Amino acid sequence: MASDRSLQIQIFVLLALAATAFSTTLSPHFYDGVCPQALPAIKRVVEAAVAKERRMGASLLRLHFHDCFVNGCDASILLDPTPTIDSEKNAGPNNNSARGFEVIDQIKAEVDKVCGCSVVSCADILAVAARDSVVALGGPSWKVRMGRRDSTTASRTQANATLPSPFMDLQALIANFQRQGLNERDLVALAGGHTIGFSKCLLFKNRTYNGTNIDPAFAQQLRASCPPNGGDSNLSPLDPTPARFDGAYYNNLVKQRGLLQSDQALFSGGSTDAIVRSYISNPEAFWADFARSMIRMGNIKPLTGTQGQIRDNCRRVN
């Protein structure tokens, strides 16, 4: 009797999956008929991971960002290196930096368990986990559009070429985001993701010792944990409240206390100064724009319909 019931559930899932398999449109309701338990399962694992280590929320958000900026939101960042996969994990911006892969593995295992089979893509897991991480750290929520499928390839070369550098000036950042179909408001709003998390000394050392648009007291404070020689892996918070999603990041910028050169570039006498000021005077506008821009970023060149696959293991192609 129990086996009959299990068979009925599997048949239902397969029929529901067939109904959505050829959809070429992302939707917040994509899994409603296939596995309504999927999103609650993702949320549980994310909340547990963030409760264990608050920094993990920033790491999961960053994974989604670094995935979408390299050939679209297709979970290519999750693929381990093989003789035929030039893993994006080994690209300069990700190597010994991108983290949270084990949490994605846990989410995938839990979602497949509650759904009865591998029906939720790793790309959608990244998108939903990013949203749930922001919420877990006190930030805004948004309706994640789903229906992405997973790539069967990765490109370390493309990751090195397209991911924005922490050393970019404003014009380079604007151009980088424009190539992804994102505008200046998206740039400033998504940069607000740096209201959570940390960065390594290597990435802000030159700014700390040679920057001309950095508050001297802030530079002196950073030098305590970022010596001129060595200490490249030492961490400093991206803003004063790295475990809470708030507007402190923008307040830092007007005080010339942006940690990275690319952070301070957003408030340096250029075209984005006004947006930074607007987020300080109206935090609700930042939250609304951040949510809107996350949806726009999540729409970058997704694989849909019969493109790609639904990976059984997020780290390797089926």
The set of catalytic residues is 66
Rg, the chain, Cα only: 20
Q: Phi then psi for 85, rounded to 5 degrees?
A: -115, 115
Q: Hey, which residues does 156 pair with through a beta bridge?
A: none
Please tell me the distance from the alpha carbon of residue 157 to that of residue 161, in angstroms, as a whole number. 6
SS3 105: helix
Note whether 28 and 145 are within 8 A (CB): yes
Q: Hey, which residues does 155 pair with through a beta bridge?
A: 86
Please tell me the distance from the alpha carbon of residue 108 to that of residue 106, in angstroms, as a whole number. 5
Q: Phi then psi for 86, rounded to 5 degrees?
A: -90, 85
Q: Would you say the C-alpha torsion 181, 30, 48, 109 has a positive or negative sign? A: negative
